[in-house]
């Protein structure tokens, strides 16, 4: 019996067989398969139209043109764009102020402020004093003063702290040369608080010279005439006030034009019979010797000038000066008790103290040591100024401590001199000084 059967299917080759089969394909066949891959894989980017490229380049150039190079940018705001600086008409001096510091604060030159206030580079300024910074205030005062010129004929002005002759003249609408002439003063004359300054020609006061009969009734006044010098007096002013020549006053008192006179001293006022009077001997404010040592005349003369200036100037009280010394020491890194000990030993906190050696003020600093102290702190110090005087003394103390082998030698150096101490050792009086300073330091600690 025959049956129909379906043809037998050949078995499927395994994967290795496929690989073998593929490997046996001709190269032409493989290249045909490669061509059959999708065409998207080899799509080339289309070129940028020329107009678009030009536009991109133009935009890039514009951006670069809008950027300002760093080298072209100024480091500071141009003066025309800076806010306007407002300078007040005047500045009231506060503790620690200096003329140069005030000038810098308001964008002015130091010379301009000095000139505006008729000050010198070594003039002393004090807290509460008003310094002019512009001429606006004096212009108004000048207009007001010129409204009633007749009032200047017999007007007097009492000098206040901080006044200057130039400022007084401007305030009353007159020339400085006129004020000097009316009062027998010079540009170098020193004026003091409480002093009376005549505003107006003394000719208007001539009627006061009308009573010659009264003067004749007491001729002894001229024969034995004398005058006690007051603060602010000058020899020419005294001569003019008494109706005598300056040369006669100088001759009668054995003085020169350069001689210094002091408040409280008596001057002979020469009259017709003044030749019989002995010339007065002026007692100096500062003696010429101290502890058996006599100082050169030039040093003593300078000391007397400084003493006269300090006597006529407002200075801090003893308690205020003690506080100034302590504050200065703290600020400069020196033990306040030690600085106070020096100030107490040297002057008792008296800023008006001046020695025959011309040691000035609370810390008793001589001018040459003041120059050294100025170098130490990097600015010019005025020893007549209470704050600068304290700064000078504390600066010297600090430097002596830094450069001496111990504290005792530093203290001795302030009194005897550092070089002398290192070469000769401490003298007996120096040892007493060191002991006193150390005792005072304990009291102030």
pLDDT at 72: 57
Q: With bands split at pLDDT 50, 70 and 90, how would you rate the model's confidence at 33?
A: very low
pLDDT given at position 265 = 76
Task: Tell me what pLDDT residue 272 has.
Answer: 40
- Portion of the chain with pLDDT greater than 70, in percent: 68
* pTM beyond cutoff 0.85: no
Backbone angles phi, psi at 167, to 5 degrees: -65, -40
The pLDDT of 416-437, averaged and rounded, is 92
Cα distances (Å, whole numbers) of residue 236 to 36, 143, 181, 198, 290 = 128, 31, 10, 15, 33
Highest mean pLDDT among 108-117, 138-147, 203-212: 108-117
pLDDT of res. 21? 44
**pLDDT at position 71, please?**
59
Residue 223 has pLDDT above 60, yes or no: no
- 384 versus 122: which is more confidently predicted? 384
State the pLDDT at residue 398. Answer: 96
Question: Each residue of 37-54: pLDDT tens digit?
Answer: 454 445 555 555 667 777
Residues 199 and 173: their CA atoms lie apart, in Å, by: 10
pLDDT at 95: 74
Secondary structure of the chain in HEC code, one letter for each residue: CCCCCCCCCCCCCCHHHHHHHHHCCCHHHHHHHHHCCCHHHHCCCCCCCHHHHHHHHHHHHHHHHCCCCHHHCCCCCCHHHCCCCCCCCEEECCCCCCHHHHHHHCCCCHHHHHHHCCCCCCCCCCCCCEEECCCHHHHHHHHHHHHCHHHHHCEEEECCCCCCHHHHHHHCCCCHHHHHHHHCCCCCCCCCCCCEEEECCHHHHHHHHCCHHHHHHCCHHHHCCEEECCCCCCHHHHHHHCCCCHHHHHHHCCCCCCCCCCCCCEEECCCCCHHHCCCCCCCCCCCCEECCEECCHHHHHHHHHHHHHHHCCCCCCHHHHHHHHHHHHHHCCCCHHHHHHHHHHHHCCCCCCECCCCCECCCCECHHHHHHHHHHHCCCCCCCCHHHHHHHHHHHHHHHHHHCCCHHHHHHHHHHCHHHHHHHCCCHHHHHHHHHHHHHHHHHC
133: its two tokens = 């910074």
Place of tokens 């004090």: 126
| pLDDT band for position 29 (cuts 50, 70, 90) | very low
Residue whose structure tokens are 């004020």: 179
Mean pLDDT for the stretch of residues 400-406: 94
pLDDT at 162: 66
User: In the prediction, which pLDDT does 270 show?
Assistant: 83
Q: Supply φ then ψ for residue 227, to 5 degrees.
A: -140, 130
Q: How many CA atoms lie within 13 A of 293 on its CB side?
A: 8
pLDDT of residue 206: 41
Q: What's the rounded Cα separation, in Å, for the pair 355 and 345?
A: 13
Reading the block at residue 216, the tokens are: 């004749």
Residue-wise pLDDT for 269-315, tens only, equals: 887 444 444 444 457 788 887 767 788 888 888 898 899 888 888 88
- Tell me the pLDDT of the chain averaged across its residues: 75
Alpha carbons 443 and 445: distance in angstroms, whole number: 6
Which position has the higher pLDDT, 315 or 147? 315
Structure-derived torsion over alpha carbons of residues 288, 293, 295, 301, reported in degrees to the nearest 10:
-20
Over 70: is that where the pLDDT of 149 sits?
Answer: no
- Section 319-340 average pLDDT: 94
Residue 329: predicted pLDDT: 95
| Per-residue pLDDT, 379 | 92
User: Which residues carry out catalysis?
Assistant: 346
Band (346; pLDDT cuts 50, 70, 90): very high
Confidence class for position 426, pLDDT limits 50, 70, 90: very high
- pLDDT for 363 beyond 70: yes
Q: How many CB atoms lie within 10 A of CB 153?
A: 13
Residue-wise pLDDT for 156-201, tens only, equals 888 776 677 777 887 787 887 788 888 888 766 777 777 888 887 6
């Amino acid at each position: 019996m025959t049956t129909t059967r379906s043809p037998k299917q050949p078995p499927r080759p395994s994967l290795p067989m496929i690989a073998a089969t593929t490997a046996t394909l001709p190269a032409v066949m493989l290249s045909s398969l490669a061509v059959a891959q999708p065409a998207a894989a080899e799509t080339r980017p289309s070129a940028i139209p020329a107009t678009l490229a030009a536009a991109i380049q133009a935009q890039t150039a514009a951006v670069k043109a809008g950027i300002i190079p760093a080298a072209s940018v100024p480091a500071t705001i141009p003066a025309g764009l800076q806010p306007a600086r407002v300078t007040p008409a005047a500045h009231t001096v506060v503790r620690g102020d200096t003329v140069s510091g005030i000038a810098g604060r308001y964008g002015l030159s130091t010379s301009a402020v000095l000139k505006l206030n008729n000050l010198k580079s070594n003039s002393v300024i004090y807290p509460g004093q008003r310094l002019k910074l512009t001429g606006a205030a004096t212009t108004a005062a000048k207009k007001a003063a010129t409204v009633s010129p007749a009032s200047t004929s017999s007007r007097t002005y009492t000098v206040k702290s901080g006044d200057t002759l130039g400022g007084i003249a401007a305030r009353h609408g007159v020339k400085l040369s006129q004020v000097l002439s009316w009062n027998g003063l010079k540009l170098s004359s020193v004026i003091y608080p409480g002093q009376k300054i005549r505003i107006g020609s003394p000719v208007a006061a001539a009627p006061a010279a009308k009573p010659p009969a009264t003067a004749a009734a007491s001729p002894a006044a001229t024969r034995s005439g004398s005058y006690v010098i007051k603060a602010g007096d000058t020899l020419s002013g005294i001569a003019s006030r008494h109706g005598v020549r300056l040369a006669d006053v100088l001759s009668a008192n054995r003085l020169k034009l350069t001689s210094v006179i002091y408040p409280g001293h008596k001057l002979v006022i020469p009259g017709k019979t003044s030749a019989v009077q002995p010339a007065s001997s002026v007692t100096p404010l500062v003696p010429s010797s101290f502890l058996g040592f006599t100082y050169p005349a030039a040093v003593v003369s300078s000391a007397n000038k400084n003493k006269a200036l300090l006597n006529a100037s407002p200075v801090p009280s003893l308690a205020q000066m003690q506080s100034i010394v302590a504050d200065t020491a703290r600020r400069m890194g020196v033990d306040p008790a030690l600085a106070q000990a020096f100030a107490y030993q040297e002057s008792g906190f008296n800023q008006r103290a001046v020695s025959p050696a011309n040691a000035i003020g609370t810390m008793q600093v001589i001018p040459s040591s003041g120059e050294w102290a100025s170098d130490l702190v990097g600015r010019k110090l005025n020893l007549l100024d209470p704050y600068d005087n304290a700064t000078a003394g504390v600066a010297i103390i600090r430097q002596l401590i830094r450069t001496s082998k111990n504290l005792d030698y530093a203290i001795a150096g302030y009194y005897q001199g550092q070089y002398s101490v290192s070469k000769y050792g401490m003298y007996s009086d120096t040892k007493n000084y060191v002991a006193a300073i150390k005792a005072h330091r304990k009291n102030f600690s």
